[in-house]
A and B are shown apart, each in its own frame.
Chain A
């Protein structure tokens, strides 16, 4: 591990498989840790003690990361998303900021994060055409 981390910003009610799987893949590929910020749609940060769904989402992320050998921290708090992200970037060794498909789609949040992040911001959008995974394709 390099001690650096990927900061993944997502809405807490996004389909988890969508973005988390890529975030975990990328952290594993770069031998970096993962720091996850889950937020409400109104832009406020997520309180860890809120709701029954919270623990379920967290345990899902922890379990996936454990299987992949990726060190993970999930963030919660009462601050706004921008404040949380600014705070984390100033304190931790963040290599990349990765935005979930829905955050990417929300231009207002994307623009805010682009303004405050000194590190590259990686956006994700669902591929419009799924690549075929046919076997026995042409050989290059």
Chain B
């Protein structure tokens, strides 16, 4: 249960009845008979709803209402007024009460009002989340000086009129998230929602609920129906990051949703039809995941209608300096700095480093430098000491070849260079003809 209620009522029996009724309905309830104590509890803890009697020791209900609206505007307040006291009911509503209830009241009537308040609160939370998603930065800048990043943007351009699913691959921090936004905002769906979900940050049950939503009563605590991101993204794009982390159950459910364009919310019996474009991303070697059986081949084929590989930063060095300048411009205003550029020494260090954390790491370095730099240009002293102390190299295991394979490739190239003269090749390589023959045979 995630809806918390505080009952501020000085009549002990009435308070106990209200608490018992609400607890029986599954609400998390606390009670107090003092207005001042109620305020203290709301200041120190979070409550979704306050039920406040007008007349209370310590602080009356109307004063309590005013104070609560100051310290916790998100807490709804139902004021319990005296019989026929219209003026206090009006005052309460003007002061921002969610509703009022004249005494004596029926507990069912109170319950009805509380259920309404809870449903509205849950809807408001969803709307806030949706607004946050929709108000996401649409002014997207992609730095693409290098040929490989230009190629990425060309691929995005090629599919701007298409609705195909896209699989973004590349190491952590290369900018898959950014490219997913470019794909969405350059498509015909640009005026519809763009939502994203990181599949690695939730447990399976939570992820299912986030993605597909749930019906009221689907599980303990599911007090109201909740729309999943797939439903909210209807007409738009859903970006699923770290797709390789999806459990087998959710992989099956997602596959059905993509194929049938409909899905069942958790605990639901009626399918929900949606029109969503999917963009998925992973930093894993998905072929290895398929080979090991942890990722469904059929889902991979569905997602991988178009694969866009985003290269690592150290393989597109010509992007480093423009990125540095871009991040400097981006972060300087936030720290009220007027930094014009970089010293040559600083740029040399930045250009020479290999960035295992890719663009994300570079942005962090520049932001940190903006904070530390006191002059008009970022110098080496504002860069992390570690960058200057070590030579860093990143090796991708799937790119590493066994030594024997490299040796054989070299032997083959020497034999080819010598026009097939194996005697001369064995002499130059310093190995016997038998060894040479054996290596050539290992194909």
A108 → B minimal CB distance (Å) = 13
| Interface pick from B117-125, B251-259, B354-362 | B354-362
Q: Known: A118-B288, A124-B391, A132-B345. Contact between A4 and B172, CB under 8 A?
A: yes
B141 → chain A closest CB, angstroms: 21
Check B200 against A93 for contact (C-beta < 8 Å): yes
A118–B396 Cα distance when bound, in Å, is: 8
Contact call A131/B394, Cβ cutoff below 8 A: no
Q: Cα distance A131–B345 when bound, in Å?
A: 9
The answer to whether A118 touches B285 (Cβ under 8 A) is yes
Report the Cα distance A130→B340, complex, angstroms: 26
- Interface: A120 (CB within 8 A): yes
> How many whole Å from B326's CB to the nearest CB in chain A?
15
Contact of B386 among A21, A114, A136 (CB under 8 A): A21
Q: Are B393 and A123 in contact (CB-based, < 8 A)?
A: yes
Query: In the complex, what's the smallest C-beta–C-beta distance from B415 to chain A, in angstroms?
Result: 27
Question: B381, A133: Cβ atoms under 8 Å?
Answer: yes
CB-defined contacts of A78 to chain B, threshold 8 Å: none
A120 near B394 with CB under 8 A, answer: yes
- Across the interface, name the chain B residue whose C-beta is closest to A135: B379
Which of the four size classes fits the interface of chain A? 35 or more
Least CB distance from B198 to A in Å reads 8
Q: Which residue of A lies closest to B324 (CB)?
A: A140
> Which residue of A has the minimal Cβ distance to B363?
A29
CB–CB A124/B392 < 8 A:
yes
What per-residue 1/0 map shows which CB atoms of B330-373 lie under 8 Å from chain A? 00000000001111111111000000110011001100100000
Residues of B within 8 A of A29 (CB): 357, 360-361, 364-365, 368, 384
User: Which B89-124 residues have C-beta < 8 A from chain A?
Assistant: none
Contact B396 A3, beta carbon cutoff 8 Å: no
* Contact status A121-B344, CB under 8 Å: no
Q: Is B356 a contact of A26 with CB atoms below 8 Å?
A: yes
Asked if B397 contacts A140 (CB within 8 A), the reply is no
Beta-carbon nearest neighbor of A115 in chain B: B397
Please judge, given known A-B contacts A93-B200, A125-B390, whether A118 and B284 are in contact too, CB under 8 Å. yes
Given A18, A26, A93, A131, which contacts B361 in the complex, CB threshold below 8 Å? A26
Q: Does B213 contact A (CB under 8 A)?
A: no
Contact of B1 with A by CB under 8 A: no
Q: Known contacts A30-B173, A93-B200, A132-B345; is A22 also within 8 Å of B360 by CB? A: no
The interface of chain A, by Cβ under 8 A from chain B, is 2-4, 18, 21-22, 25-26, 28-30, 93, 95-96, 98, 101, 114-115, 117-128, 130-140
